[in-house]
Structure 1
Amino acid sequence: MLIIIHSETNRHTIAQNLGRSEYSYYFVLKEYRPVLERLGRVIEVTDPAREVDALYLECLGRGEPCVFLSFSPPHRTPVHLACPTLPVFAWEFSTIPNEPFAGEPRNDWRTVLAACGAAITHSSYTVDAVRQAMDPGYPIVAVPAPVWDRFAERGAQLSREPLAGAVQLKIKGLVADSRRLALDAFGPVHLRRGKGIDFAAPVAEQTLTLDGVVYTSVFNPGDGRKNWEDMLSAFCVTFRDTEDATLVLKLTHHDAEEALGDILHHLYKNQPYRCRIVLIYGYLADADYERLVQATRYVVNTSYGEGQCLPLMEFMSCGKPAVAPRTTAMIDYLDAGNGFLVESTDELTSWPHDPRKAFRTLRYVTNWASVCAAYRASYEVAKHDPERYAQMSAQAVSSLQAFCSQAVAEQRLRLFLAQVTERRAAPAAEAAGT
């Protein structure tokens, strides 16, 4: 079988696309690729309209099955190719777009999904949303990005190096540390303009030392779904008098000032506090990323919903329990045994690419007091209950193995792609009279 793959963002454009719409599809493609290579030949294309059907016709001529996996949301998936095309997409809302808007028929995802005849997504939550809009038997499978193997191996290595005291990281980029920022000297407007932090300065390597009970979150601050404001304010209030509690925010974005400006503004607003807040904008080499994981006690998420949440999956695969809501994709791998669960309620919202901002779906709003309670409970476990922490750590590893290991992904993809190709081959064989 030939498996053709494509993402609008690729290794040549990822640097300038960080934080832009759909940039994370490239990372999903990268995680899928080793598994796909066990199932057939894999070719990555940059121009589907020009390349895909040419490859498909070659396969057709020699009787080789061929499928095109478009790592993109349905409204950005091509539907006029001769090659069987499957969108591979993430989704975190209660309903999929089921009406056209903005003059684009593909914005009604039902049109695309019907034309493709099958699809791949990353959670049972999304499978349910698609089948509610399409048909209970619509061919769709949940295959999360298979990150477990790589990160569980890192976690096993780190466990052989017990955390003793402070951990040092080398960071090529900007670091804003509440222990060093003179926030009293700057009002919100000054901080937003970058005074006290030189956004235009040449990128330089810095050393960051982390100690105490470290909570870490990795996210794009420009993504309105991440709800980092509640994460930050609840932390500052809960640990207002706790000097050894640290929240590390590793920011993924293409623009430093845009990434840091609003968060610095919120750091100012939430004063006073004795806990520590560290913002990291810049590159972490693999070794330093692993040191960040090693220093971390808990990975944090307070989002309105997730299509899968790669950073949460990665840290939990390394044995780091979570502080997070059990909603959307997180239902599949998060529970009270591997995390401190945050309560949430649903509210009306719009699909993110709908310019009308019409209320057509639901998102999940975290209960702020519940975030505070989860912080308090997790801190007590980290400080005073090492046995329970070890149990939660082990449970995080095993839960993520069952959710996003390469073995699970390979099994599901092998079966699903075989079913898709057989279903496509049957009408063609009947038409040919065979």
Structure 2
Amino acid sequence: MLIIIHSETNQHTIAQNLGRSEYSYYFVLKEYRPVLERLGRVIEVTDPEHEVDTLYADCLARGESCVFLSFSPPHRTPVHLVCPTLPVFAWEFSTIPNEPFAGEPRNDWRAVLSACGAAITHSSYTVNSVREAMSADYPVVAVPAPVWDRFAARGAQLRGQALTDSVRLKIKGLVADSRQLDLNAFASADLHGNTGFDFQAPVIEQDLLLEGVVYTSVFNPSDGRKNWEDMISAFCATFREIEDATLVLKLTHHDAEEALSDILHHLYKNQTYRCRIVLIYGYLADADYERLVQATRYVVNTSYGEGQCLPLMEFMSCGKPAVAPLTTAMIDYLKADNAFLIESTDELTAWPHDPRGAYRTLRYATNWASLCAAYRTSYEVTTNDPLRYAQMSVQAVNSLQAFCSQAVAEQRLRDFLEQLFERHAVAAMEASGA
């Protein structure tokens, strides 16, 4: 079997695409690839329009089955190829786009999913949304990016190291530390004045010492779904008098000033507080990413919804319990025994790529008081109940193994693709009159 794969962002363009629309599909493709290589030959293409059907014709000539996996949302998935094509996509809203808009017929995802005949997504929540729009028996499967094996191995190594009260990282990039900045300089969200912080400073390697109870979140600050404003304000309010509570925000974006400026303004607005907030903008080598995981006690998510949330899955696979809402894709792997769950409420919103801004779906707004309570209880567990924390750590690893291990992904993909090829064979026989 030949499996053709493609993502609009690739290894050559990822640096300039960080934070842009659909950039994370490249990371999903990377995690899928080792599993796909167990199922067949894998070829990654850069130009599906000119490469896919040629490869498919070669396969037909020698009797080899072939499928094209387009790691992209349906409205960016080609539907005119001869080769069987499946979109592999994430989605975090209550409904999929079910009407055309902006002059693009593919914005009605039902048309794309009907043309493809099947799809792959990453959560049971999205599977349900697809089937509500298509049919109860529409062929769609939930296969999360299989990150568990790689990060569980890292977690095992970290647990084998001696525990310390502090961890030192080397950061190749910019670091903004609430304890080292004059936050009054960031009183305005428009930071073109003299703040004393050079967003264009050349990258110098610098040390970062993390101590105490560390909460970490990794996200793109320009992604309106992440709701980092509540994350910061609740942290400042909860730990206003707690010096050893630290929130680390690892920011993923292609532009330093765009990534940092609005957050720095929010750090000013939430003064005063004795807790610490650290913003990291820049590249972390694997060893330093692992040290960040080692320093972390809890991974945090306060988003309006997630298609799967790779950073949350990665940290939990390493044995770090979560502070997060029980919504969307997170329903599949968050539980009371591996996370401090945040309550949320439904609210109307628009599909993110709809220029009309028309309310057609739901997202899930964080209950701010519940977030504060989750912060407070998690801190108390770390400081007063180490046995419970250890149990939650083990449950985090076990839950993510059942959700996003390579073994789980391989079996689901194998079964799904076998059924796909059986349907295509039957359809071909019927078309030929056999």
The CA deviation string for residues 192-230 of structure 1, in whole angstroms up to 9 with x for no partner, is 657221011111111000000000000000000000000
What is residue 305 of structure 1 aligned with on the other side?
305
What is residue 206 of structure 2 aligned with on the other side?
206
Question: How many residues get paired?
Answer: 434
- TM-score, structure 2 as length reference: 0.99
Query: How far off is 1:422 after superposition?
Result: 1.2
Structure 1 CA distance for aligned equivalents of residues 303 and 195 of structure 2: 29
What is residue 401 of structure 1 aligned with on the other side?
401
Q: Which runs of 5+ in 1 are unaligned?
A: none
Query: How far off is 1:191 after superposition?
Result: 4.3
Mean alpha-carbon deviation: is it higher for 420-429 or for 394-403? 420-429
SS state at 1:206 partner: strand
Structure 1 vs Structure 2 CA RMSD: 1.0
In the TM superposition, 1:364-383 aligns within 5 A as 364-383=364-383
What is residue 66 of structure 2 aligned with on the other side?
66
Query: How far off is 1:13 after superposition?
Result: 0.2
SS state at 2:362 partner: strand
Note if contact 2:349-2:359 (Cα within 8 Å) is conserved in structure 1.
yes
Amino acid aligned to 1:23: Y
Note if contact 2:189-2:261 (Cα within 8 Å) is conserved in structure 1.
no
Structure 2 CA distance for aligned equivalents of residues 194 and 410 of structure 1: 54
CA change 1:194–1:159 in 2 (3 A) is farther
Note if contact 1:89-1:122 (Cα within 8 Å) is conserved in structure 2.
yes
Q: Which runs of 5+ in 2 are unaligned?
A: none
SS state at 2:5 partner: strand
What is residue 23 of structure 1 aligned with on the other side?
23
In the TM superposition, 1:27-426 aligns within 5 A as 27-189=27-189, 191=191, 193=193, 195-426=195-426
The CA deviation string for residues 103-150 of structure 1, in whole angstroms up to 9 with x for no partner, is 000000000000000000000000000000000000000000000000
CA change 1:185–1:17 in 2 (3 A) is closer
The CA deviation string for residues 56-113 of structure 1, in whole angstroms up to 9 with x for no partner, is 0000001100000000000000000000000000000000000000000000000000
Structure 1 CA distance for aligned equivalents of residues 208 and 134 of structure 2: 50
Following superposition, which runs of at least 4 residues in structure 1 exceed 6 angstroms of deviation?
A: none
SS state at 2:359 partner: coil
Structure 2 CA distance for aligned equivalents of residues 190 and 366 of structure 1: 27
Structure 1 CA distance for aligned equivalents of residues 133 and 271 of structure 2: 47
Query: How far off is 1:432 after superposition?
Result: 4.0
SS state at 1:268 partner: helix
SS state at 1:240 partner: coil
Note if contact 2:185-2:194 (Cα within 8 Å) is conserved in structure 1.
no
Note if contact 2:236-2:270 (Cα within 8 Å) is conserved in structure 1.
yes
The CA deviation string for residues 14-41 of structure 1, in whole angstroms up to 9 with x for no partner, is 0000000000000000000000000000
Question: How many percent identity over aligned positions?
Answer: 82
Structure 2 CA distance for aligned equivalents of residues 420 and 326 of structure 1: 32
Structure 2 CA distance for aligned equivalents of residues 349 and 192 of structure 1: 32
Query: How far off is 1:428 after superposition?
Result: 1.6
CA change 1:150–1:345 in 2 (3 A) is same
